[in-house]
Amino acid sequence: MCRWAAYRGDPLYIEEIVSSPAHSLIEQSHCATRAKTPTNGDGFGIAWYGDRPEPGRYRDILPAWSDCNLRSLARQIRSPLFLGHVRAATGGATRRDNCHPFVQGIWSFMHNGQIAGFERLRRAMESMLDDELFDARAGTTDSELMFLLALQFGLTQNPFSAMSDMLSFIEGLSHKLTGSALIRFTAAFSDGKTLHAIRYATDQFAPTLYAAPLGKGYCLVSEPLNDDVDAWMEIPPGSAVTLDDDGVSINAFKPEGIKEAARAVMA
């Protein structure tokens, strides 16, 4: 069970979300209050968009609360769109390549959740990737692989459709290889312009997702960053969230089976 927070709006210092509030990500990593896994000490990461098309990124495997580099960077770097993640390993060794956010080109991605029986699905999932995306796989997590599959299914062209196809593919694959399927998936992802998020699960336990205005912008979080309960809107399960210049929009999200184009990729 991981925790994450993302922001889009007027440039904001990363520390506003990562270290300043009473229930910032770092504080949450030290003492999680609403989640089942009692600690988050398996690494962390931030990705932010600045002058370059691709995001900057800093990841490390230390507990976030003891990392001086993170504190200094979060205090210095101001960005109109950034993602922060604290990891509690459900699978995959503790190493930088397994820390979120994952980045490919201009895209960044981070995730809370898991795929039941991932080890039995991993190879078949990896075999779906084109050579270029296959070579881009650096770690061993289900999260990174879901991101690469979404890119395979057209994340650049149609983000939510690609995520839907990715989830449909994994659900189908899991039924085929294991006789059942359980996916929990609350993720944020961005191309540097729009910030997207999804809250979804194949059962009724989709990991939580909240939104709130922050400064001249909005933030999306896996857990509220403070105890001001009125400020945080819970996004219902089965939702796709978009933050862009028009503000926040929330739509129903339900993978409907794989579309024709994706089916062609899988053939």
| Binding residues for its own copies (CB under 8 A) | 30-31, 38-39, 41-42, 48, 50-52, 56-63, 66-69, 72-73, 75-78, 89, 93-97, 119, 122-123, 131, 134-135, 138, 140
CA 189 to chain CA centroid, Å, is: 6
Nearer to its own copies, 135 or 230 (CB): 135
Nearer to its own copies, 52 or 179 (CB): 52
CA distance 137 to 122: 12
CA distances, 201 to each of 33, 41, 51, 95, 239 (Å): 22, 25, 36, 27, 10
Instruction: In angstroms, give the least distance from the CB of 58 to its own copies.
Output: 5
Instruction: In angstroms, give the least distance from the CB of 49 to its own copies.
Output: 9
CA distance 81 to 243: 10
Instruction: In angstroms, give the least distance from the CB of 33 to its own copies.
Output: 10
By DSSP bridging, strand 78-86 and strand 44-48 are antiparallel
Nearer to its own copies, 52 or 245 (CB): 52
Nearer to its own copies, 67 or 161 (CB): 67
CA distance 18 to 24: 5
Instruction: In angstroms, give the least distance from the CB of 29 to its own copies.
Output: 9
Nearer to its own copies, 119 or 234 (CB): 119
| Cross-strand partners of 196 | 189, 242
Instruction: In angstroms, give the least distance from the CB of 211 to its own copies.
Output: 27
Instruction: In angstroms, give the least distance from the CB of 259 to its own copies.
Output: 26
Ramachandran quadrant class, 65 (left: phi over 0; alpha: psi -120 to 50; beta: rest): alpha
What is the side-by-side order of every strand in the sheet holding 56-60?
56-60, 44-48, 78-86, 3-13, 217-221, 210-213, 233-234
Nearer to its own copies, 78 or 259 (CB): 78
Give the position of tokens 């504080």: 27
CA-wise closest residue to 197 among 150, 160, 162: 160
